[in-house]
Structure formats: structure tokens, C-alpha cells
Amino acid sequence: MSFYFKQGQIPRKRHTQFRKPDGSLYSEELVSTEGFSSIYSLVYHSHPPTLVKEIGEPFSVEPKVALAKNMQNRSFFTFKTEPCDDYIESRKILMCNKDLYVTAAAPRKSTDYYYKNADADEVIFVHEGSGTFKSVYGQLDFAYGDYLVIPRGTIYQLQFVNEQNRLFIIESFSPIRAPKRYCNKDGQLLEHSPYCERDIKTPERLETHDEQGDFKVMIKKQDLIYPYTYQTHPFDAVGWDGFVYPYIFSIHDYEPITGRIHMPPPIHQTFEGNNFVICSFVPRLFDYHPLSVPAPYNHSNVDSDELLYYVDGDFMSRKHVERGMISLHPKGIPHGPHPGTVEKSIGAKETKELAVMIDPFHPLQLTEYAMAMEDKGYYKSWVE
């Protein structure tokens, strides 16, 4: 999801002299994607963004895969993730493949350092907690139900209101975009799309920190964290413009697509990356055909795994659901509603469910953290 936006002071023409009140030049930075062939932004810094004073020893955050191949329907309770003061330490990778990482986090404290993911766009779904996201682009206030979408290479800080925070994080090794079928040829979201540009919260309250000192930036690249110390504050911009910037979309602003009979999962799609999609299940009216069956039909994931992260509400197709629970249905075997839930759903008029779904087209590997929070009998839950 990208459209042109600007903040602060910028010169009339790009790549031209832009001087401070004292006559010295601001430092222009091009933040470009996909080899200078896709979207980009231009940021105007008080100081060059290259002033590195020290680089510490990197440490590993590589996911520890416990199960590389999976052919079993499984379930995991992510709220078993222990709260942790440190933001990086709190991030527990549960599942991974070459296209994305799926992470649960329960950070208690705001970060005193700055963080950058050099390899992946991040989609942080806020399940519990609220606060302020800070970056060189400005600030974004986040709360329950927000998707915070952060382009790779963005240095940021998270400032939490309190210690009760639960985050569901997707790291994408390809750009996060709006589904192509929702957009016209010029990139604008179409009338029939379930959300529009008006629903996107863009950065605000740009603060220029023209400061020098020791500023620690923890940079993630190739599953290592590199501790960098910069001479100048990373949020020293006086202005910027372009198409690359963090933004927020709330799951509560997703307008569901409904029909006379049960609609397929693609109607819930919210974002897409390379070889996977992210979907939002939100409160909605059920199907209105007189013989409709609101519960989903049994289906086989022939080409993709299906991961469903349960947020809130009642799910008519499941007998036992907890907040923060993940169900994982791998491609190769069918799944569907639990016994008794199909008949029970008939005549129901609406659902209050809230969930985030990921469909990856390459199988997900399961880490040690995931296996430690597994409901080991889940695959038997369809047997009465």
C-alpha cells in the first residue's frame, strides 16, 4: 500500500541544493526499493546518515527449527510467550520459510535503543497494548487491532503506554503491498476494495532531533543483530517525501465482503507479499441465501499452508478457541468445521470473530518456541 505523501521542509526540486539557516547543506538520502526500480522516498537529514562511530559484535537471532517438514494439523497457544523487558529478546520466531517469519512477542518496556530490520518489511499486529511508533518519518500512535506496516531499512523505536503488550509480527522478505485486484492501473484502491486510502494512517508529528552523541541502532541482517553506534540522532530529518514510509491500517476498518452463499477465503485478503497473503476476518453478516450454510465447507489446501491467528470473538467452526491461539493446517490434508458446528451455524445471522490469517505457498517450518506451546492433541479434534 503506497501513495505519495510528504512532511516537513523539502526543496522545490529533488537532488538540488537545500541549505540550512546557517548556509550549510542538508544531507539528502534516497531510500529506494527493488534496485532503484520501484517506490522510493527522499529524506533530508540535518547530518549525513553515515556517521558510524562503532560497531559491536553481532549476535544471532536465527530461528531454531525443530520440525522442518510437517504433515499434521496443529495448534499453538502464543500467549504462553513469556513477557520480556527487551524488545529484541521478546520476539520469538514460531514459524518460518524462505518468504516470511511468523513471530509472537510480549515486550514490557519501551526501547531505549533504535531498531532496524535490513532484510524484511515488518507487519506488526497489535493484539494487546498501545503506544507510539517513532521513526525518521514522524510518529504513529498505535492501539489494539492495528497493523503497523514498516518498510525494510526503517530505523524505529516503540514507546509503549504500559507493560501489557502482545504483538503478532510477520517479517516479509518481499515488499508488503495491497492486493493487485483491489487497485486500478494507477495504483489507487478501487471502489469495491474492502478499504481505501482514507483508512490508512500516515506518519505525523515530525520532530527534528538535531543532536550529536552516542545513538545505539540494533540492525538485523541475515539473522544477526549488529549493534551500531551512530554519532547523530537517527531522527534528524527536517522533511521527506515519496512512497516509502511506515503506516497503520486498523483491522477494525476492514469492510467485509459478504454474499448469499459462503464466500471463499480470498475475500478476506488485506495484504500480500511474494508467495503469501495476509487476511483479516472481522465481524460481518452471514450468508443470506435461504438454504445457506454459514460454517465454512471442508477444504483442502492444495497449494498453501493456512495459518489462522485468533484475536477475539466466537468462531462458529471451532469448539475451542483461545485468544492468541494459532491453528496451522498444512497443504496436503483437508480441514474444516468441527463436528456439530455446521448444523449449529444454520440460521445464524452474524459473527463477531476477529482473526488474522496467513496463507504461505511454501511450507512453514516450526521452531522450538512453537513446539513448546503446542496443543498436541489438536489434530484429533475433528473426531467425536
- Per the CB < 8 A criterion, the answer to whether 301 and 332 are in contact is yes
Asked if 182 and 255 touch (Cβ cutoff 8 Å), the reply is: no
Question: Domains in the chain, ordered, with CATH?
Answer: 47-63+82-236+245-251 (2.60.120.10), 256-380 (2.60.120.10)
The mean pLDDT of the chain is 94
CA distance 219 to 229: 10
Q: How far is CA 45 from CA 14, 151, 209, 237, 242, in A?
A: 14, 19, 10, 4, 15
Q: What is the pLDDT of residue 318?
A: 65
CB neighbourhood size of 383 (10 A) = 7
Q: What contacts 321, CB < 8 A, 6 or more positions away?
A: 310, 314, 315
Q: Which three cell numbers stand for residue 6?
A: 510528504
The number of CA neighbours under 13 Å toward the Cβ of 102 is 29
pLDDT digits (tens, 9 = 90+) for 298-337: 888 789 999 999 999 877 666 678 899 999 999 989 888 8
Indicate the range of 21-30, 139-148, 327-336 predicted with least confidence. Answer: 327-336
Q: What are phi and psi of 350, to 5 degrees?
A: -160, 165
pLDDT tens for 218-232 read 999 999 999 999 999
pLDDT in tens, 224-277: 999 999 999 999 999 999 999 999 999 999 999 988 888 888 899 999 999 999
What share of the chain has pLDDT > 90, as a percent?
A: 80
The pLDDT, as a whole number, for residue 316 is: 63
- Least confident among 30-39, 138-147, 356-365: 30-39
- pLDDT at residue 110 is higher than 70: yes
Say whether pLDDT at 286 is over 90. no
User: Does pLDDT of 175 surpass 90?
Assistant: yes
Model confidence pLDDT, tens digit, residues 38-54: 999 999 999 999 999 99
